[in-house]
Structure formats: structure tokens, C-alpha cells
Amino acid sequence: MYLPCPCCGWRDMREFTCIGAADYCDRPEADAPPEAWDNYLHLRDNPAGPARDLWYHAPCGTWLEVARDTVTHAVTGSTAVEEAG
């Protein structure tokens, strides 16, 4: 399996670490209600189909969001977390 690092291009999966859903980038405001924090920390969808994952490319130190399909395993693209919306 290969993943596209926004910095290095397509690289072997062994160079990456998967952290989970990309929701982890959407940190609530410090004073957000507990429900928002609960959602942020613990609640995740489990999509069959298109998904956005958070990966770390250790060799170059880039965090990236990977768009892939959990059914077909197709990897369709990625964005650096630093540059993501």
C-alpha cells in the first residue's frame, strides 16, 4: 500500500503511522461544552466508503489527511494538515 505524502509523494505504507479519523484536527474551543469535547475525543463514524484519516509521515515530519475508501481501498488524495481548511 502506498500513500501520497504532500511533501514526498507516494511512499510505502511502512513510513506512515495512522492516528485515526481526521476529526482529531477539529479541536473545540477551550470553553466549549463537555458534549463538544466528548464528541471530539471519543465519538467517531465508522464509514463504509469514503473516509478521511489522519496519518503521520515520520521521515519528513508531515501530518496529513488522507482521503481513501474503506471499501475499495482506493486512496484518492491527501492534504497536509498545516494547509488543510
Partner 1 sequence: MKRRVTGGSALDRGRAVRFHFDGREMTGCRGDTLASALLANNVRLMGRSFKYHRPRGVLTAGSEEPNALVELKRDGTFHPNIRATLQELHSGLEARVQNCWPSVRHDVMAVNDLFAPFLSAGFYYKTFMWPRAFWERLYEPVIRRAAGLGRLPRAHDESLHERAFAFCDLLVIGSGPTGLMVALTAGRAGADVILAEEDRQMGGRLLSQAGQIDGQGAEDWVQGVLAELTALPNVRLMPRTSIFGTYDGGVFGALERVGQHLAEPGLAPRECYWRITARRAILASGALERPIAHPGNDRPGVMLLSAVASYWHRWAVDPGRVVVFGNNDHALASAQVLADQGMQIAAYIDPREDVAGDTPFPFHSGGEVVATRGRHGLREVTIRVRGRESRIACDTLALSGGWNPTLALTCHHGARPVWDEAIAAFVPRPGMVPGLEAAGAARGRFSIAACLADGVEAAQAALAELGLKAPDMVLPEAEDSAYALRPLWQVKAKGRAWLDFANDVTTKDVTLAAQEGFASVEHMKRYTTQGMAPDQGKSSNMGALAVLADATGGSIPETGTTTFRPPFVPVSIGALGAGAKGAGFRPERRTTSDAQARAMGAPMIEAGLWYRPSYFPQAGDADWRTACNRETGFVRQTVGVCDVSTLGKIAVQGPDAGRFLDFVYTGTMSRLAVGRVRYGLMLREDGHVMDDGTCARLNEHDYLVTTTTAAAGEVMQHLEFVQQAFCRGWQLRLASVTENWAQMAVAGPLAGEVLGHVLGEVPDLPFMGYCPVQIGAVAGRLFRISFSGEKGYELAVPARFGADLFRHLVALAEGLGGGAYGMEALNVLRIEKGFITHAEIDGRVTAFDLGMQGMMSSKKDFIGRAASQRPGLTGPERMQLVGLRPSDPQAGIAAGASLFQPDAPATAAHVEGHVTSACYSPTLGTWLGLALVVNGRARHGARLRLEDGLRGQRCEVSLCDPVFFDPEGGRMRD
Partner 2 sequence: MIELSASDPFAGLHLPLVHGAARLDSVPPVRITAIAPLPGQTEALASALGGFPAPGEVLDTTLRLVWVGRGQAFAFGEGLPEGLERHAALSDQSDGWAGAQLEGADAQAVLARLVAMDLRALAVPSSVRTLLGHLPLLLVKQSETAFDLWTYRSMAGSLSHELDRAMRMVAARRALA
Partner touching 60 among partner 1, partner 2, none, CB below 5 to 8 Å by kind: partner 2
Q: Which CB, 15 or 69, lies closer to partner 2?
A: 15
Measured CA angle at 4 (ends 55, 52), to 5 deg: 45
CA distance linking residue 19 with residue 65, whole number of Å: 10
Partner touching 73 among partner 1, partner 2, none, CB below 5 to 8 Å by kind: partner 1
Q: Is 26 helix (H, G, I), strand (E, B) or coil?
A: coil
Q: Are 33 and 39 in contact (CB under 8 A)?
A: no
Could you list the residues that contact partner 1 (CB under 8 A)? 1-2, 13, 17, 19, 24-25, 27-28, 30, 32, 34, 37, 40-41, 56, 58, 61-63, 73-75, 80-82
